[in-house]
Amino acid sequence: MFDYLIVGAGFAGSVLAERLATRSNKKVLVVDKRNHIAGNAYDHYNEDGILVHKYGPHIFHTNSKDVFEYLSDFTDWRPYEHRVLASVDGQLVPMPINLDTINKLYGLKLNSFEVEEFFESVAEKVPVVKTSEDVVVSKVGRELYEKFFRNYTRKQWGMDPSELDKSVTSRVPTRTNRDDRYFTDTYQAMPLHGYTRMFERLLDHPNIKVMLNTDYHDIIDFIPFKEMIFTGPVDEFFDFKYGKLPYRSLEFKHETLNTENYLAAPVVNYPNDNLYTRITEFKALTGQQHPKTAIVYEYPKAEGDPYYPVPRLENAELYNKYKKLADQTPNVHFVGRLATYKYYNMDQVVAQALTLYKKLTEKSEDTARKPAISGSTELVDKLVSRDPAKP
Ligand code: FAD
Ligand code: UDP
């Protein structure tokens, strides 16, 4: 009998498996329908021996000392600060928009104070910043919004920024200085030997069993367990009872080129040209030396694997209906980007998983102290009777 069935071997599932196994001595079964661990952070050596991220570029950054220190038990790090150029008006300019972006784009020599005045002069007054369009036009005006954000967002999300919550474009700041880093978090680094290696170490414990190529539906009736941790799409868990939650997908086109370097930056964004949104050159992220180079193009898609929850009011409302159901489902815990329908970065998912672990241990300490509440073991009993050995 497993104490926990964990659905999904991504950050959410693997962090919980590690904590429950090593700290609480729980027996854990992790299943994933894919043929690998690490979820969307999975990386592997391609046929030319270059380390690539199967599901697009994953750059680790966080302000949380706790999260960084926790993961540091499972990996060494390569210091790495991410930089992005955007291809706009035939030039490659720093993204997020900063002082150099404006000077290069318009052939100016403004200083920080002058560029601040420039932004103020072009910014549009927006009484309440609600949408992803509002965020940008209220800071840098319509022209820069159209050059850098409007079409990229329309491609990426299949809808206009005015239809998306402000949180989406708020991820990308505007700067009046020359800082050209994509992120300003305190901790920015890449796992020295890759993400998959880090996940192997997270899951390397005698209390943890991992089953790949396994949809949980295929085993749930045969393998007994007490509680479930679910990290897949929450709407799918409830058989789409209230309808489908929208997710945005991507198609990744990987290529290896017979040249040592290809891009002028680790990532180049294409707001206005091409059907893809960005190209990534992996060696720039990993620091690997190799005579060839590997790149990936990201083509946004409506159908396919669910990669991005779509942040907008009506989707949040629909998710809240599922959340209510989730909260009423005994002994199943929902965690991660898909199960809580949140546009979370890796560090946020790790933090969410660590928080859930704390809640679970507090709960079990509580139960150990209090007499059993009637009905609380109902699901466990039902699941126990599913054990083929105990019909
Ligand atoms: P996932 O990694 O999606 O894991 C869920 C797992 O559940 C999957 O492996 C899936 O196969 C499995 N599963 C689902 N349903 C079932 C089922 N029925 N049965 C069995 N298994 C099932 N974050 C950053 O911090 N930095 C970045 O640079 C960054 N870049 C990104 C780029 C892209 C293109 C994408 C899509 C995401 C990026 N992220 C980035 C976000 C990051 O991928 C997520 O925050 C993180 O991987 C989420 O972990 P998770 O465990 O919640 O979900
Ligand atoms: N964005 C944009 N132009 C860019 C970069 C980002 O319009 O050059 C918008 C777009 O809507 C994108 C969002 O900002 O989805 C968040 O960007 P981020 O780079 O954080 O996206 P992710 O890495 O999560 O795909």
Average model confidence (pLDDT) across the chain: 93
For residues 233 and 371, the model is more confident at: 233
- Indicate if ligand 2 lies below 6 Å from the C-beta of 148: yes
Query: pLDDT digit string (tens) for 184-213?
Result: 999 999 999 999 999 999 999 999 999 999
164 alpha carbon – ligand 1 mean position (Å) = 21
Average pLDDT over every residue of 129-149: 98
What residue owns the CA closest to ligand 1's atom 33? 56
Residue 363: the pLDDT is 75
Task: Give the DSSP letter of residue 354.
Answer: H
Average pLDDT over every residue of 228-250: 98
User: Which of 7, 36, 52, 58 has most ligand 1 atoms within 8 Å of CB, for mutation?
Assistant: 58
Least confident of 54-58, 70-74, 347-351, 383-387: 383-387
- Indicate if ligand 1 lies below 6 Å from the C-beta of 53: no
Average pLDDT over every residue of 204-229: 97
pLDDT-derived band at 391 (thresholds 50, 70, 90) equals very low
User: Which of 40, 42, 84 has most ligand 1 atoms within 8 Å of CB, for mutation?
Assistant: 40
Average pLDDT over every residue of 159-168: 98
Do residues 80 and 59 make contact, with C-beta atoms less than 8 angstroms apart?
Answer: yes
- Asked if the model's pLDDT at residue 376 lies above 50, the reply is no
Query: pLDDT digit string (tens) for 314-346?
Result: 999 999 999 999 999 999 999 999 999 999 999
Domain ranges of the chain: 2-76+191-257+302-369, 95-171
Q: In the 3-class helix/strand/coil scheme, how is 32-76 assigned residue by residue? A: CCCCCCCHHHCEEECCCCCEEECCCCCCEEECCHHHHHHHHCCCC
pLDDT-derived band at 382 (thresholds 50, 70, 90) equals very low
pLDDT-derived band at 219 (thresholds 50, 70, 90) equals very high
β-pairing, 293-301 vs 247-257, is antiparallel
Q: Percentage of the chain surpassing pLDDT 90? A: 92
Token pair 């104490």 is found at 3
Residue 52: the pLDDT is 98
- Indicate if ligand 2 lies below 6 Å from the C-beta of 171: yes
Rounded to whole angstroms, the Cα distance separating 69 from 75 reads 10
- Indicate if ligand 2 lies below 6 Å from the C-beta of 172: yes
Question: Which amino acid type is present at position 155?
Answer: K
Tokens of 300: 């946004």
pLDDT-derived band at 364 (thresholds 50, 70, 90) equals confident
Task: Give the DSSP letter of residue 371.
Answer: P
Residue 28: the pLDDT is 98
pTM: predicted TM-score of the whole model, two decimal places: 0.94
Phi, psi of 202 (to 5 degrees): -60, -40
- Asked if the model's pLDDT at residue 312 lies above 90, the reply is yes
120 alpha carbon – ligand 1 mean position (Å) = 39
Q: Which ligand is nearest to the CA of 299?
A: 1
- Asked if the model's pLDDT at residue 386 lies above 70, the reply is no
- Indicate if ligand 1 lies below 6 Å from the C-beta of 224: no
Residue 227: the pLDDT is 98
DSSP letter for each residue of 359-389: HHHHHHHHHHHSPPPTTTTHHHHHHHTT-TT
- Asked if the model's pLDDT at residue 375 lies above 80, the reply is no
Residue 369: the pLDDT is 58
- Asked if the model's pLDDT at residue 385 lies above 60, the reply is no
Q: For the purposes of burial, counting CB atoms within 10 Å of the CB of 78, is it exposed (0-12), middle (13-18) or buried (19 or more)? A: middle
13 alpha carbon – ligand 1 mean position (Å) = 10
CATH number among 3.40.50.720, 3.40.50.12280, 3.50.50.60, 3.40.710.10, domain 2-76+191-257+302-369: 3.40.50.720
Element (H, E) at 13: helix 11-23
Rounded to whole angstroms, the Cα distance separating 78 from 66 reads 18
Residue 132: the pLDDT is 98
Residue 379: the pLDDT is 25
Residue 350: the pLDDT is 98
Average pLDDT over every residue of 62-77: 98
Q: Which ligand is nearest to the CA of 165?
A: 2
**Nearest-atom index, ligand 2, CA of 57:** 23
- Indicate if ligand 1 lies below 6 Å from the C-beta of 378: no
What residue owns the CA closest to ligand 2's atom 19? 172
- Asked if the model's pLDDT at residue 306 lies above 50, the reply is yes
Do residues 229 and 120 make contact, with C-beta atoms less than 8 angstroms apart?
Answer: no
- Asked if the model's pLDDT at residue 368 lies above 80, the reply is no
- Indicate if ligand 1 lies below 6 Å from the C-beta of 306: no
What residue owns the CA closest to ligand 2's atom 10? 153
What residue owns the CA closest to ligand 1's atom 39? 345
